[in-house]
Amino acid sequence: MREGITFTVLALALVAGCCCVNGCGDDSKSAADAAATLQTDLLLVHAEAKLSESDKVYLMVNLAHKELQLMLKGAVVWSYPLVMEQEASDELHEFARLFRGKENRIVRPLSEKHLFASKSRTPDSILAIVSEVTKFKPELLQREMPERFQLLWGDDLILDVRTDVQGTPISKFKNTIVEIRRVLQRPLGEAYLSVKMDPVRALSLYRVAQPGLPTILVEP
């Protein structure tokens, strides 16, 4: 793993050097852009290396390949294509811009999530038995199939996940408050992605996506 990272860093440095040799004298803006891209790529490689050394799962929002990926020790353990409702790429670039921010952040922790509606699937009595056998906490086991939920990272970064499940609202009042907050925030620079997902795969993402989940972004 470390050998691959070292090779990547050297390759990026070589590319930057070539860009400078061929274009620094003629086009300083192009050279500056190349240097900024190199810096971001190096930060991304470093962040991935650090997260892969942990025993914890992290989320990769890969806008370049339009895919969501749950990673563990650098390996993909779950993935799903970003089949988005919006066709234009403007939303992707705006999401990436706000995610990076002025600090050029590579990793952000998930700040919160909100389940709008779901369909009951497993009774609590059965979950209690399963929890005793598997030693998993009941709240981490499968309870309901989500109809819609949102993941939020702060700075008005929102991933809205919808499925074909016809569920029951968890709290109509809270849902209304969340929607009103979003309407008020949108003029201030909200970045909003809406994704259609298979219900079972959506459940996996919802259960893993606990507040604090490290999220790394690959730009489009």
pLDDT tens, position by position, for the chain (220 residues)? 444 444 444 444 444 444 444 445 556 667 665 666 677 778 888 888 899 898 889 999 998 888 999 999 989 989 999 876 555 567 788 888 889 888 888 899 999 999 999 887 655 655 565 556 545 565 555 567 889 999 999 878 889 999 998 888 877 767 677 776 666 555 445 577 888 898 888 888 888 898 999 999 988 7
Residue 205 lies in a domain: yes
Structural domain boundaries enclosing 116: 83-212
**Do 47 and 98 have their domain in common?**
no
pTM comes to: 0.71
For residue 78, being part of any structural domain is answered with: no
Q: Are residues 41 and 91 in the same domain?
A: no
Instruction: Please check whether residue 77 lies inside any domain of the structure.
Output: no
Same domain, 107 and 192: yes
Cβ-proximal residues to 69 (8 Å cutoff; 6+ apart), any chain = 59, 60, 62, 76, 78, 79
- Report yes or no on 175 lying in a domain: yes
